Amino acid sequence: MDKIHLYDKIISPMVTEKSTNLSEQNKVVFKVPAGADKVNLKKNIEKIFKVNVTKINIINKQNRTKITRGKKVKVSGFKKAIITLKKGQSIDLTTGI
């Protein structure tokens, strides 16, 4: 596999307060494409970052509308993956993907 194909399965890391708290439990959160599945995602993460993945949870966030300044605005949905790493391993998100 080319590096280009490996990186196609990861859109971006999600750096939020909740994902930062999960990093204490050896978990990392990534935004992934809509067609991503657990098996291919596990192989790609292990090849890119040289870590051992023990578990992957995928969450599908639905489209929603919110009201901003009195107008309805459509917020697009996305898919995110919570990746649990083997104890003692971590991924440094500050280096960039």
Domain ranges, ordered by start, for the chain: 3-87
Helix (H) or strand (E) holding 4: helix 3-7
Amino acid in position 34: A
pLDDT-above-90 percentage for the chain: 69
Indicate whether 61 pLDDT > 90.
Answer: yes
Q: What is the pLDDT of residues 27-51, one digit of tens each?
A: 999 999 998 999 999 999 999 899 9
pLDDT at 86 over 80: yes
Evaluate if residue 1 carries a pLDDT over 60: no
Fold of 3-87: Alpha-Beta Plaits (3.30.70)
pTM of the complete model = 0.83
- What is the arithmetic mean of pLDDT over 46-71? 94
Which tops the pLDDT comparison, 70 or 91? 70
Over residues 17-21, mean pLDDT = 92
